């Protein structure tokens, strides 16, 4: 008979720096560089964004306490899925894992489509060749498809060549990302074009029916400014919770996990607030510039600080590092989750196998690649409907992990009153994040669009159907083994 799936083993290849790079690379993506002009400054201003991101980081640190605890208790690939299985049983674990697949896997093609946006920002029209078509008001060019698909294939191959090689590449990309943003911040402080008088309006602005811009004032404006950015905290910090997916590959003490998570979250906070503040300090009358549709605001600010060539190189390096580290990190997280669900019998057992030569789940990685290659053909706007489920998936993961941590502490008589309170708070935050995205509340602008609700419904139906198909397949497999056992005894 075949070797039991539970005996499939990874090699311990990841050091603390590699794991930090996975988390940080997944947290910071294209959005950290484009959203100062699209969301953060208009909706929340400099101060509103800084407060919201800081609160969001604090919430994630609270949640990370539960993750660090559960990793020590169940250091297996699969993370939240395994935590839910151990504490709540088969169906809750499947629900958690199914939504996490959507969360992690959708981010791989989404990051790849951002490459075209970067190239278009630095060299407009360079990829606008070959055939083109439009989906969801987005024109998609052959050049963009070829670039995205080429990178997806390249990074899938790197992942297939072994965890250590992938970890080295990820660390290089994460260090490049952090270093270039530090350079931008230092250059902004030292630059003569930086003007602190540009920083206002501190809480964003409101566009009046006349077309004029008005600063947000008063308690209502301040509160709405903070909430507008705080509401997207699960999306902004998606990535730190990918760490437990590779728990079987750590070659260091699990006691270090909490510090790695916190450092990754703090680095992410620095990048978000730094990019946003740079944009405001350098661009004179930034509300008019943004409302008037000026070119990529952060790129414009970087070019003003460092000159057109140097600014483009530094910011281009930062953004490309963010995108590529996101692709690498989510490949690793997705493949380990799919592997774990295959090993545990929730997905076809072929996914739960480890390649003997490279000690990686190559079948799971190949599946992630095939799934992701569809993304560039759909375009970024259509993919955003799928990615809306990313926040839902991670928020569900938050909830399961924090509640599992509380119940495990209670059962094993671990932890103290303070840590138990943190687990309950983390569970409450996870539930809250689900509610504010699924239920329209005020004018936060983070709830699902109609296409996103439809895709969510389809994903749920597919999940239910696949659950029963796999359950039937497992039953048939058990029956076949029982029938074969007497023959083996003769």
Least confident of 169-178, 224-233, 292-301, 356-365: 224-233
Q: What is the pTM of this model?
A: 0.91
Q: In DSSP terms, which residues pair with 205 in a beta bridge?
A: 215
Residue written as tokens 């809250």?
A: 432
Q: What is the pLDDT of residue 6?
A: 46
Residues 317-356: pLDDT tens digits?
999 999 999 999 999 999 999 999 999 999 999 999 998 8
Per the listing, tokens 């198909």 go with 469
**How large is the average pLDDT for residues 57-63?**
95
Q: Is the pLDDT of residue 478 over 70?
A: no
For residue 206, what is the enclosing H or E element?
A: strand 205-207
pLDDT at residue 194 is higher than 60 = yes
Write down the pLDDT at residue 384: 80
Q: What is the pLDDT of residues 378-408, one digit of tens each?
A: 988 888 887 777 778 889 999 999 999 999 9
More confident residue, 233 or 415: 415
pLDDT at 1 over 70: no
332, 246 in Cβ contact below 8 A? yes
pLDDT at 224 over 70: yes
Angle CA(311)–CA(317)–CA(322) in degrees, nearest 5? 130
Q: Is there a contact between 44 and 52 (Cβ–Cβ < 8 Å)?
A: yes
Average pLDDT over residues 194-209: 86
pLDDT at position 295, please?
A: 83
Q: Tens digit of pLDDT for each residue in 266-324?
A: 999 999 999 999 999 999 989 999 988 888 999 999 999 999 999 999 999 999 999 99
- Give yes or no for a contact between 400 and 423, defined as CB atoms under 8 angstroms apart: no
List, in order, residues 6 or more apart from 246 with CB less than 8 Å away.
Answer: 14, 19, 22, 77, 163, 332, 333, 336
Angle between helices 308-343 and 16-27 (to 10 degrees): 110
- CA–CA dist 178, 185 (Å, integer): 11
Task: Determine the Cα–Cα distance for residues 415 and 444; give it in Å rounded to an integer.
Answer: 36
DSSP state of 439: S
Lowest-confidence pick of 10-24, 68-82, 216-230, 238-252: 216-230
Maximum separation of any 2 CA atoms in the chain, in Å? 89
Contacts of 480 (CB under 8 A, 6+ apart): none
pLDDT digits (tens, 9 = 90+) for 121-159: 888 899 999 999 999 888 999 999 999 999 999 999 999
Report helix angle 142-160 to 308-343, nearest 10: 60
Q: Does residue 443 have a pLDDT over 70? A: no
User: What value, to the nearest 5°, has the Cα angle with vertex 241 and ends 237 and 243?
Assistant: 125
Average pLDDT of span 156-183: 95
Whole-angstrom Cα distance, residue 22 to residue 4?
30
Distance CA 101, CA 108 (A): 11
Nearest to 337 by CA among 7, 105, 5: 105
What average pLDDT does the segment 352-364 reach?
91
CB neighbours of residue 449 within 10 Å: 11
Q: What CA–CA distance (Å, rounded) separates 45 from 225?
A: 7
pLDDT at 481: 56
Model pLDDT, residue 490: 40
Flag whether pLDDT at 262 surpasses 70: yes
Q: Is 174 helix (H, G, I), strand (E, B) or coil?
A: helix
Mean pLDDT computed over 238-249 = 90
Q: What is the pLDDT of residue 204?
A: 87
pLDDT at 445: 55
Mean pLDDT of 446-460: 82
Closest CA to 275 of 454, 87, 34: 34
Domains and CATH numbers, the chain: 13-448 (1.20.1740.10)
CB proximity list for 288: less than 8 A, separation 6 or greater: 213
332 contacts 245 by C-beta, under 8 angstroms? yes
139 φ/ψ angles, rounded to the nearest 5 degrees: -80, 125
Residue identified by tokens 């671990």 is: 414
pLDDT value at residue 446: 60
The DSSP bridge partners found for residue 489 are none
Query: Residue 479: its pLDDT value, please?
Result: 61
Q: Nearest-CA neighbor of 275 among 101, 59, 480, 31?
A: 31
- The rounded distance, in Å, linking the Cα atoms of 149 and 161 is 19
Q: Per the structure block, which two tokens stand in for 39?
A: 């969301």
Residue 440: count other Cβ atoms within 10 Å of its Cβ: 12
Mean pLDDT check: name the lowest of 101-110, 226-235, 458-467.
226-235
Arithmetic mean of pLDDT over the chain: 89
């Amino acid at each position: 008979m075949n070797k039991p799936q539970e005996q499939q083993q990874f090699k311990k290849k990841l050091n603390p720096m590699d794991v930090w790079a996975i988390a940080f690379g997944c947290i910071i993506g294209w959005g950290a560089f484009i959203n100062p002009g699209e969301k953060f400054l208009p909706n929340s201003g400099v101060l509103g964004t800084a407060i919201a991101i800081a609160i969001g980081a604090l919430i994630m640190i609270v949640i990370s306490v539960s993750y660090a605890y559960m990793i020590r208790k169940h250091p297996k690939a699969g993370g939240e899925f395994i935590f839910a299985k151990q504490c709540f049983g088969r169906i809750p674990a499947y629900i958690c894992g199914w939504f996490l697949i959507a969360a992690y896997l959708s981010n791989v093609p989404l990051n790849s489509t951002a490459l075209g946006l970067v190239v278009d920002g630095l060299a407009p029209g360079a990829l606008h060749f070959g055939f083109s078509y439009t989906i969801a008001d987005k024109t998609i060019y052959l050049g963009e498809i070829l670039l995205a698909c080429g990178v997806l294939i390249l990074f899938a191959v790197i992942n297939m060549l072994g965890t250590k090689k992938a970890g080295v590449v990820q660390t290089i990309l994460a260090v490049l990302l952090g270093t270039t943003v530090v350079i931008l911040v230092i250059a902004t402080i030292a630059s003569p074009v930086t003007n602190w008088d540009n920083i206002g309006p501190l809480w964003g602005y409101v566009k009046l029916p006349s077309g004029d811009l008005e600063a947000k004032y008063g308690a209502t404006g301040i509160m709405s400014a903070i909430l507008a950015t705080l509401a997207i905290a699960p999306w902004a910090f998606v990535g730190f919770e990918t760490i437990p997916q590779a728990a079987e590959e750590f070659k260091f003490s699990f006691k270090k996990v909490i510090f790695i998570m916190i450092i990754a979250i703090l680095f992410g906070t620095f990048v978000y607030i730094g990019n946003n503040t740079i944009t405001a300090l350098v661009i004179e009358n930034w509300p008019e510039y943004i409302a008037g549709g000026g070119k990529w605001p952060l790129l414009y600010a970087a070019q003003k600080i460092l000159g057109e060539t140097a600014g483009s190189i530094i910011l281009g390096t930062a953004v490309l590092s963010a995108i590529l580290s996101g692709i690498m990190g989510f490949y690793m997280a997705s493949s380990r989750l799919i592997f774990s669900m295959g090993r545990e019998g929730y997905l076809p057992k072929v996914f739960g196998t480890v390649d003997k030569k490279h000690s990686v789940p190559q079948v799971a990685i190949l599946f992630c690649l095939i799934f992701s290659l569809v993304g560039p053909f759909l375009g970024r706007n259509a993919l955003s409907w799928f990615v809306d489920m990313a926040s839902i998936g991670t928020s569900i993961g938050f909830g399961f992990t924090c509640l599992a941590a509380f119940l495990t502490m209670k059962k094993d008589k671990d932890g103290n009153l303070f840590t138990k309170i943190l687990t309950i708070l983390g569970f409450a935050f996870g539930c809250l994040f689900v509610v504010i995205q699924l239920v329209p509340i005020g004018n936060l602008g983070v709830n699902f669009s109609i296409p996103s609700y439809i895709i969510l419904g389809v994903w749920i139906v597919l999940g239910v159907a696949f659950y029963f198909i796999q359950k039937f397949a497992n039953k048939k497999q058990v029956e076949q083994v029982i029938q074969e056992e007497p023959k083996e005894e003769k």
